[in-house]
Structure 1
């Protein structure tokens, strides 16, 4: 299986950067923005209705929704997945995460999740939850799950039931439609569904520290593929300190470098 080596995966794309101007007052309509630049891009399967994205030990894992939802390991040189799990059509796949040599997967409205062995992809167990399943990540101890609201649920990995909840706000206003998630050293990065924004959330307080505005990437992506859907998919590449982002039916994964450390 090919590992991801970001330093050599370069593709032609005009340089994109976002350095927000300094403002004194912020709100959801005028949020504090986090600066970034696009270092490079990688190909992505434009037929993949992306629900989850992560990097684990140098390999890119992806999950998709709609019919024949799957979990696969993505070849970074082609963007094509080696599909390891294909769900029955009655399930609409959602987010995934990897913890303790297991892959955890949510489904959307079926209110059932699956746990697989990381090496064999054998189904180990199923679990139930009460709300819809959207995004999934972990903090090294508990799973962290979104359901489309402004509330994140922390699940115990033994019982796979909620042990706590975190309400997400920005300047006192609820931030809802939290979708795909990625945990990075004390912060949860979350796609805002149907928005071109990713929120950076303090995992202890629920307060949003700022937003990535990726509307320019969405615009450029739709020039390449007019059928490209919404931004969705966040993966942290630890060794290069890069954030990988993509979307549903997007032909590219963008590799971002953020101003300052996303771990502070």
Structure 2
């Protein structure tokens, strides 16, 4: 697996190209403006985050601690919770019709939950590791820590097609949490303080979102307390981000340089 790129290394990468070749252009970099801060469970190892039915829904990882929960935005209170078996590590979360689908890291098991009650409705199986999950209204879109994104049938989780995420023409791996926003895919990159916007047709990274000021504000000492968690309220056009073991969830607005 190739070494993940970082924001700090991007200016150098811009200068590197084969002899006689023109270096690919770096996509635009957006800064973030914090619109609001909300409490977030500092013990939650956040793996998936969505906005649905006036609340946040979050999937939490680690064996013995994994669950899917409905969370009140204003105070971070868990209103409802569904527990994942203690032997499984919860991962990405997405809405599929009237159900929530939550992945597990290993074993290819995806749990299905009633989106209103969080009662389990069944489970499905998929072919690779489970990392992030989102949906475009036709397919579920899954990451597995590689540079690939898989478009899955929402009912069977069978692969329909895949794309390779590329930044400046190079595969970008460690793609983690996903969110569908205005016709594009936003993705956290594991252990990186930035989000990438991905063209769902080509896999090309078309924008970088710099989370470094937010990561610095959190000031986490745990190396695994990384940025992870993107949710979009399409009706009100609100974008939320958080991280694993973070005490704060941020509503942000994007500003291009």
TM-score, normalized by the shorter chain, greater than 0.5: yes
TM-score by length of structure 2 reads 0.85
1:161 corresponds to which residue? 158
Alpha carbons 2:143, 2:175 under 8 Å: kept: yes
Distance between the aligned counterparts of 2:197 and 2:103, measured in 1?
22
Q: Determine whether 1:82 maps to 2:79.
A: yes
TM-score of the superposition, structure 1-length normalised? 0.83
Q: Which residue of 1 aligns with 2:126?
A: 129
Residue 202 (structure 2) aligned to one of 202, 205, 208: 205
Tell me: higher relative CO, structure 1 or 2? Use CA pairs within 8 A at least 6 residues apart: 2
* Aligned equivalent of 1:243: 239
Name 2:9's counterpart in structure 1: none
Query: Once the two structures are superposed, what CA deviation does each residue of 1:214-240 show, in whole Å capped at 9, x if it has no partner?
Result: 112111101xx5447000000012233
Runs of 5+ unmatched residues, structure 1: 1-24
2:249 is matched with: 253
Superposed CA RMSD in Å reads 2.0
Aligned 8 A contact 2:27 2:206 in 1: no
Q: Between Structure 1 and Structure 2, how many residues are aligned?
A: 234
Query: Is 1:116 the counterpart of 2:116 in the alignment?
Result: no
1:30-58 alpha-carbon deviations (Å, 9 max, x no partner) = 76311321111111010100001111122
Cα distance in 2 for partners of 1:213, 1:110 equals 33
Please say which of residues 187-196 and 111-120 is displaced more in the overlay.
111-120
8 Å CA contact 1:47, 1:249 repeated in 2: yes
Partner of 1:170: 167
2:59 aligned residue (63, 77, 80): 63
Structure 1 stretches of 4+ moved >4 Å: 25-28
- Residues of 1 paired with 2:236 and 2:218: CA distance? 24
Matching of residue 47 in structure 1 with residue 43 in structure 2: yes
